[in-house]
Amino acid sequence: MALTGIQIFKLLPKTNCKECGVPTCLAFAMNLASGKAELDACPYVSDEAREQLAEASAPPILPVQIGNGVRKLTVGGETVMYRHEKTFYNPTAIACKVSSDIKDKELKAKLAIWNAFQYERVGFNLRPELVAVEDAGDAKAFAKTAKTIAETSEFNLILMSDNIDAMKAAVEATSFKKPLIYAATEANVDDYGALAKDNDLPLAVKADSIDALIPLTEKLLGMGIKKLVIDSGSREIKQAFEDQVAIRRAALKAANRALGFPTIAFPCEMASNLGMETMIAAMFIAKYGAITVLSDFTTESLFPLLIERLNIFTDPQRPMTVTEGIYEIGTPDENSPVLITTNFALTYFIVSGEIEGSKVPSWLLIKDTEGLSVLTAWAAGKFAGDDVGMFVKKCGIADKVKNKELIIPGYAASIVGEIEEELPGWTITVGPREAPHLPAFLKAK
Ligand code: SF4
Last residue of a domain, one of 312, 334, 365: 312
Does residue 10 line the site of ligand 1, with CB under 6 A? Answer: no
Residues 39 and 112 in one domain: no
User: Across residues 64-91, what is the average pLDDT?
Assistant: 94
**pLDDT of the residue at 1:** 53
Mutate to test the pocket of ligand 1, among 9, 25, 30, 45 (most ligand atoms within 8 A of CB): 25
> Over 60: is that where the pLDDT of 245 sits?
yes
Residue 91, pLDDT > 60, answer yes
Residue 28: domain span: 5-57
> Which residue's alpha carbon is nearest to atom 4 within ligand 1?
17
Lowest mean pLDDT among 49-58, 188-197, 289-298, 392-401: 49-58
Query: Helices (H), strands (E): how many in the chain?
Result: 16, 17
Measure 2 CA to ligand 1 centroid, in angstroms: 20
Report if residue 349 sits inside a domain: yes
The answer on 119 and 43 residing in a single domain is no
Is the CB of residue 8 below 6 angstroms from any atom belonging to ligand 1? no
Over residues 17-74, the pLDDT tens digits come to 999 999 999 999 988 887 678 888 899 998 888 888 876 677 889 999 999 999 999 9
- How far does residue 9's CA lie from ligand 1's centre (Å)? 10
> Which residues are CB-contacts of 277 (< 8 A; sequence separation ≥ 6)?
267, 268, 270, 271, 294, 295, 301
Of 266, 262, 214, nearest to 235 by C-alpha is 266
Rounded Cα gap, residues 150 and 142, in angstroms: 12
| Ligand 1 neighbourhood includes 396 CB (under 6 angstroms) | no
The residue length of the chain stands at 445
Phi, psi of 74, deg, nearest 5: -120, 135
Same domain as 413, residue 386: yes
Q: What is the pLDDT of residues 325-374, one digit of tens each?
A: 999 999 999 999 999 999 999 899 999 999 999 999 999 999 999 999 99
Compute, in angstroms, the gap from residue 420 CA to the centroid of ligand 1: 52
Supply the pLDDT for residue 354. 96
Give the model's pLDDT for residue 115.
95
The number of distinct structural domains making up the chain is 3
One domain for residues 277 and 379: no
Q: Please name the residue whose Cα sits nearest to atom 1 of ligand 1.
A: 25
Is residue 317, in this structure, part of any structural domain at all? no
Our mutation pick for probing the ligand 1 site, out of 9, 16, 30, counting the most ligand atoms within 8 A of Cβ, is 16
- In this structure, how many other beta carbons lie within 10 angstroms of the beta carbon of residue 444? 6
Tell me, what CATH number does 42's domain have?
1.10.15.40
Answer yes or no: do 257 and 117 share one domain: yes
Calculate mean pLDDT across residues 119-140.
93
| Average pLDDT of the chain to the nearest whole number | 94
Q: Work out the pLDDT band at 274, boundaries 50, 70, 90.
A: very high
Q: What angle do CA 84, 87, 92 make, to 5 degrees?
A: 115
Q: Are strands 119-121 and 124-126 parallel, antiparallel or unpaired?
A: antiparallel
Please tell me the predicted confidence (pLDDT) of residue 211. Answer: 97
Ranges of beta strands (E only) in 228-375 are 228-231, 264-265, 291-294, 325-329, 338-342, 362-367
Distance (Å) of CA 400 to CA 143, 327, 334, 364: 58, 12, 6, 12
pLDDT score of 85 more than 70:
yes
In testing the pocket of ligand 1, which one of 6, 10, 14, 15 has its CB within 8 Å of the most ligand atoms?
Answer: 15
**79-92 average pLDDT score:** 93
Which atom belonging to ligand 1 lies closest to the Cα atom of 41? 5
How far, in Å, is the centroid of ligand 1 from the Cα of 4? 17
Q: Domain check: are 300 and 331 in the same one?
A: no
Minimum mean pLDDT among 35-49, 184-198, 231-245: which range?
A: 35-49
* Cβ 20 under 6 angstroms from ligand 1: yes
pLDDT tens digits, 299-322: 999 999 999 999 999 988 888 899
Q: What's the CATH code of the domain at 421? A: 3.40.50.11600
Q: Tell me what pLDDT residue 403 has.
A: 86
**Cα 384 off chain centre by:** 34
Same domain, 42 and 170: no
Distance of CA 107 to the CA centre of its chain: 27
Which residue, among 411, 414, 364, 415, has the nearest Cα to 389 in the 3D structure? 415
- Measured CA to CA, the distance from residue 377 to residue 344 in angstroms comes to 9
Peptide bond between residue 183 and the one before it cis (omega within 30 degrees of 0): yes
Report the nearest atom of ligand 1 relative to the CA of 23. 6
List the end-to-end C-alpha distance of the chain, in Å, as a whole number. Answer: 69
Same domain? For 203 and 75 the reply is: yes
Please state whether the predicted TM-score (pTM) of the whole model is above 0.75.
yes
Residue 16 Cβ contacting ligand 1 at under 6 Å? yes
Express the helix, strand and coil content of the chain in percent, nearest 5 each: 45, 15, 35
Q: 56 C-alpha vs ligand 1 centroid, how far in Å?
A: 16
Q: What is the CATH number of the domain that holds 212?
A: 3.20.20.20
Task: Tell me: do 49 and 188 sit in the same domain.
Answer: no
What percentage of the chain reaches a pLDDT higher than 70? 99
Domain stop point among 282, 312, 342: 312
Residue 56, pLDDT score:
66
23 Cβ closer than 6 Å to some ligand 1 atom? no
Shared domain check, 73 and 48: no
Q: What does the pLDDT read at residue 2?
A: 62
The reply to whether 245 falls in a domain is yes
Are residues 76 and 41 located together in one domain of the fold? Answer: no
Q: Are 117 and 132 contained in the same domain?
A: yes
Distance 316 CA to ligand 1 centre (A): 30
pLDDT interval class at 75 (50, 70, 90): very high
- Residue 200 has a pLDDT of 97
Residue identifier of the C-alpha nearest atom 2 of ligand 1 = 42
- Do 429 and 407 contact (CB within 8 A), yes or no? yes
In a domain, 318, yes or no: no
